[in-house]
Structure 1
Amino acid sequence: MNTQISLIQKIDALLPQTQCGLCGHRDGCLPYAKAISEGEEANKCVPGGQPVANALAELLGRSQLPAEESVWPVQTDGRPQRMKAIIREDECIGCTKCISACPVDAIIGSGKLMHSILTELCTGCELCIPPCPVDCIDLVEDLQAVPSEEARIAEQNDLRNRYYAHIQREEKRRINRKGPVVRANIDTALFAQFSALSDVVPEIQLVAKIDKPVITQDAAITIQLAKIRTQIKKLEKQLSVREDIKKRALLDDLQQQLSALGVS
């Protein structure tokens, strides 16, 4: 293991692993650790606060800088107040966008069904809030006692493990994914390099690209399905107001096309 990689790992070990992107690196703590090793200022970790900024300065032999301020008050340990996200479940429409956005898989649910947040896993990163189309996610104070240093390290290691597992799963699903991707454009090669050097985090393997003809065919089918569904909804709405033989026949034909494509 060369000196550069060793330094990045030491920096990453000090970061809180919230994967929040408030440092400016939307794709997680590891890319920020790499940037710090290359000369970027080490005081940008908002959830880490002044303790992390100071620890990084000591590790790197740099002057201490004031940490980036948080909008939350400071706890007794010098770090910003720990926050947790909660879903107002009676308002949730089950769009699944928050599930895709959560970097540590702390949200459970399924399409068109109510979602819930596992608060013990939530890092308060806030990444699930912007994609929510009905604004039903709130941040509340974590009322648990400030963790000990030992508990904090264990938590960071667990969050890092969960994030690597999240990236691995997302990488496998990336090519065949339908709909918008809410997560960041992950530097998978960087994470794969580091996962290969660790016995703790899940190993990330790069997924081979699918040939262009397959992607084109998949995209064409998706567009075709979208058009058929749109026509069906329009016809159903019209027929609910007034029955029409021709429109009814067209509706039956479109529904048969959906069945032929293996979609109900």
Structure 2
Amino acid sequence: MNAQISLIQQIDHLLPQTQCGLCGHRDGCLPYAKAITEGEAANKCVPGGQPVADALARLLKRPQLKAEPSAWPIQIDGRPQQMKAVIREDECIGCTKCISACPVDAILGAGKLMHSVLSDLCTGCELCIAPCPVDCIDLIPDPQPLPSEQLRIAQQNDLRARYYAHIQREEKRRLDRTGPVVRAEINTQLFAQLTQNDAHTPHIEVAEKKRDLLATFDTKSTIELAKLRTQIKKLEKQLSVRDDATKRALLQDLQQQLHALGA
């Protein structure tokens, strides 16, 4: 199992971390990496293009396959043109749906206020376009020069960390969410399992476990409070009929316990 996790992590480190879902795995690069180890074709990363498909073939010792085609022109490094999202701000209605959809938190804004894209962080994943109800988001070519391999790796690591921070925050909100979920349902258990032994990857914790523990604690506290209140009322009623030093001392003790529990 450890060998498989290590291989999944090696594959994931070759993927561009756009978290775009164009490979068919809408919850990010890591699930695609896992699927590759289970036999899925390693040429489906559209933004990675032929360089990533070839690197994966070498790592896995598989035949080289032609990369899935992109809608954008191919650059001199063999990868598709990097695109960036731009919001036409005068048309933005501040619905926040693009903010929820962005996997790397590259969009700033608030409800009923204008939104803006942080161009340096945008991966061009296109996930913000479909949820926009007024179609005010465009994709434009990235004007920056092609990054060096060292810079590309640093950018991928940063994007991975941002996505995992996004996942962690969304996981904490998930159980209390009442509005629509714009992104695909994320398999947080998978991310938690595959990040726990990687020193270079932020570890994901599953909020549901914490929620269960909290719910158990809350339930126990509620039961204890109910018992205390019942005992206090019974003693107060008894003492109103006939005073008793022992029962009055017990009443004071129960009242202190109730106060300690914050009730």
TM-score, normalising length: structure 1: 0.78
Higher mean Cα deviation, 112-121 or 195-204?
A: 195-204
The whole-number CA distance in structure 2 between the counterparts of 1:170 and 1:197 is 22
* Corresponding position: 1:86 with 2:75: no
Equivalent pair of 1:46/1:68 in contact (CA under 8 Å): yes
Point out the structure with max Rg over C-alpha: 2
1:205 deviates by 1.1
Identity percentage of aligned residues: 75
Name 1:17's counterpart in structure 2. Answer: 17
Name 1:192's counterpart in structure 2. Answer: 192
The whole-number CA distance in structure 1 between the counterparts of 2:50 and 2:41 is 13
Structure 1 residue ranges without an equivalent (≥5):
215-264
CA root-mean-square deviation: 1.4
Equivalent pair of 2:175/2:208 in contact (CA under 8 Å): no
Counterpart of 1:41, as a letter, is A
SS at match of 2:138: strand
Counterpart of 2:38, as a letter, is E
The whole-number CA distance in structure 2 between the counterparts of 1:134 and 1:178 is 23
Name 2:152's counterpart in structure 1. Answer: 152
1:11 deviates by 0.5
Post-superposition CA distance 1:84-117 (Å, at most 9, x none): 0000000000000000000000001000100100
Equivalent pair of 1:17/1:28 in contact (CA under 8 Å): yes
The whole-number CA distance in structure 1 between the counterparts of 2:38 and 2:118 is 36
SS at match of 1:85: strand
Counterpart of 1:182, as a letter, is V
Alignment of 1:107-256 (within 5 A): 107-208=107-208
- Count of residues in Structure 1 that have an aligned counterpart in Structure 2: 212
1:193 deviates by 1.3
Post-superposition CA distance 1:34-65 (Å, at most 9, x none): 00001000000000000000000011011001
Name 2:8's counterpart in structure 1. Answer: 8
The whole-number CA distance in structure 2 between the counterparts of 1:41 and 1:75 is 23
Equivalent pair of 1:161/1:200 in contact (CA under 8 Å): no
Higher mean Cα deviation, 87-96 or 173-182?
A: 173-182
SS at match of 2:180: coil
The whole-number CA distance in structure 2 between the counterparts of 1:11 and 1:121 is 22
